[in-house]
Amino acid sequence: MSALVTQRNSNSVEAFLHAISDEQKRADAFKFLELFKNTTGFEPEMWGESIIGFGSYHYVYASGREGDWMLTGFSPRAKNFSLYIMSGFSRFDSLLAKLGKHKTGKACLYVNKWDDVNAEALEEMIRASVAYMKEKYNG
């Protein structure tokens, strides 16, 4: 079975972020970069054209589909920042309450800007999610 279309690549994370035309979004993206890097201990890598990922895991589904994906990451989208918390949010109610202005999807936090986020709550969520994913997929 086919894997995800979005793959890890050797494109430059810094060049990608420097190409963000909105000055505030670019500055915020570099703040998220440092937070994710410092929290995970992983070097950032580009996944596809617009996602910055940290670490990776290999998955195999019962259907036979398999692939590699980042443990966590973010993307500076046009409308907001997508922050990828791959474990989902079921055990993060207290952290989400402290996080600040956000919306959630299945494994995505959507935030408009850095100043909307409680960095300590986000760090704790990233750390817990990465630990969970490493335990689940990397043994």
Q: Mind listing the pLDDT tens digit for each residue in 105-137?
A: 999 999 999 999 999 999 999 999 999 999 998
Angle between helix axes 119-138 and 23-40 (nearest 10 degrees) is 50
- Dist CA 49 CA 16 (whole Å): 8
Q: How confident is the model at residue 48 (pLDDT cuts 50, 70, 90)?
A: very high
Q: What share of the chain is helix, strand, coil (3-state, %, to 5)?
A: 40, 30, 30
- In the predicted model, what is the mean pLDDT of residues 24-44? 98
| Total domains in the fold of the chain | 1
In a domain, 90, yes or no: yes
Whether the predicted pLDDT of 1 surpasses 60: no
In a domain, 91, yes or no: yes
Contact 125, 92 (CB under 8 A): yes
In a domain, 1, yes or no: no
Whether the predicted pLDDT of 4 surpasses 80: no
In a domain, 26, yes or no: yes
> If DSSP codes are grouped into helix, strand and coil, which group holds residue 129?
helix
- Dist CA 134 CA 71 (whole Å): 8
The pLDDT value given to residue 65: 87
Residue with tokens 């046009």: 78
The pLDDT value given to residue 139: 54
The pLDDT value given to residue 42: 98
Residue 16 belongs to what domain range? 8-138
In a domain, 79, yes or no: yes
In a domain, 74, yes or no: yes
Whether the predicted pLDDT of 33 surpasses 70: yes
In a domain, 3, yes or no: no
- For the chain, the average pLDDT equals 94
In a domain, 2, yes or no: no
pLDDT digits (tens, 9 = 90+) for 92-105: 999 999 999 999 99
DSSP secondary structure letter of residue 29 = H
- CATH code of the domain in which 75 resides: 3.90.1150.200
